[in-house]
Amino acid sequence: MGCLQTKHASRSPHLLDTREAVALAAETSFTVSEVEALHDLFRKISNSVIRDNLIHKEEFQLALFRGKKQQNLFVDRVFDLFDQKRNGVIEFGEFVRSLGVFHPDAPEDQKVAFAFKLYDLKQTGFIERHELKEMVLALLDESDLDIASDAVEMIVDRADTKGDGKIDQEEWTEYAKDNPYVLRNMTLPYLKDITMVFPSFVMHSEISETDMAV
């Protein structure tokens, strides 16, 4: 045990442990080589502002959203979900596992579950109408889309099929199935080519006004 700890302590943070890469590939839709490519990306992001090999919120915002908004509910909530240990920073394993949900080959139920957590701001196990409305508005703002307030209300109405002012997981799953546009920002196509293309990692919702109005 002591030797193992010494080995890890002396290992350069620039190197990725092969066992960790294999384990992360087994947990996600990434291959081992893709995990290795993500490690290079992670190092660039995690040392862009504070050189500690951890991604802080400012670095996360700059890398994934180009820092367009100083305060954005969507940015904050996504960071919170990536920060699985709730310690204010994103470690490499958290980075890969969370991005794995956005992989084109990730199961749809994972995307639906992640989106539900994204909108469940108070973490109560259901999405309140005002929470869904806030998140929809934040997504639209991040996508530079401007939709009338009554159209946003219609979106929320479609989700609250029980009419009790909140959306449970069952309602959300059905809504996502009938309205696939709500999961479009849950897939980043270039994650499938991460070893060939080094993306800017800007998250696009690809939600159009036509989709919202349908």
Q: Is the distance from CB of 121 to CB of 137 less than 8 angstroms?
A: no
Q: What local confidence, expressed as pLDDT, does residue 14 receive? A: 66
Per-residue tokens: 126: 């259901």
Q: What local confidence, expressed as pLDDT, does residue 68 receive? A: 54
Q: Is the distance from CB of 96 to CB of 191 less than 8 angstroms?
A: no
Extended strands (E) in the chain? 127-128, 166-167
Q: What pTM value is reported for the model?
A: 0.75
For residue 22, count other CB atoms closer than 10 A to its CB. 12
In CATH, the architecture of 107-186 is Orthogonal Bundle (1.10)
Q: Is the distance from CB of 202 to CB of 66 less than 8 angstroms?
A: yes
> Measured between alpha carbons, how far is 82 from 145 in angstroms, rounded to an integer?
25
Query: Over the stretch 149-202, which tens digit does the pLDDT of each residue have?
Result: 788 888 788 889 998 989 999 999 998 888 787 787 788 888 887 766 544 444
Q: Which CATH number fits domain 19-102: 1.10.357.10, 3.40.50.300, 1.10.238.10, 1.10.287.110?
A: 1.10.238.10
Q: 């980043």: which residue's tokens?
A: 188
Per-residue pLDDT tens, the chain, 214 aa: give them. Answer: 444 433 344 445 567 999 999 999 999 999 999 999 999 999 999 999 999 999 999 999 888 666 555 456 667 888 999 999 999 999 999 999 999 999 999 999 999 999 999 888 778 899 988 888 877 777 677 666 777 778 888 878 888 999 898 999 999 999 888 878 778 778 888 888 776 654 444 444 333 334 434 3
Q: Strand, helix or coil at 137?
A: helix
Of the candidates 116, 120, 112, 92, the one whose C-alpha atom is nearest the C-alpha of residue 27 is: 92
Q: What local confidence, expressed as pLDDT, does residue 1 receive? A: 43
Residues 6+ apart with CB under 8 A from 61: 67, 69, 75, 79
Of the candidates 22, 37, 26, the one whose C-alpha atom is nearest the C-alpha of residue 195 is: 37
The gap from C-alpha 12 to its chain's centroid, in whole angstroms, comes to: 28
Residue ranges, comma separated, of all CATH 1.10.238.10 domains in the chain are 19-102, 107-186
> Measured between alpha carbons, how far is 59 from 44 in angstroms, rounded to an integer?
10
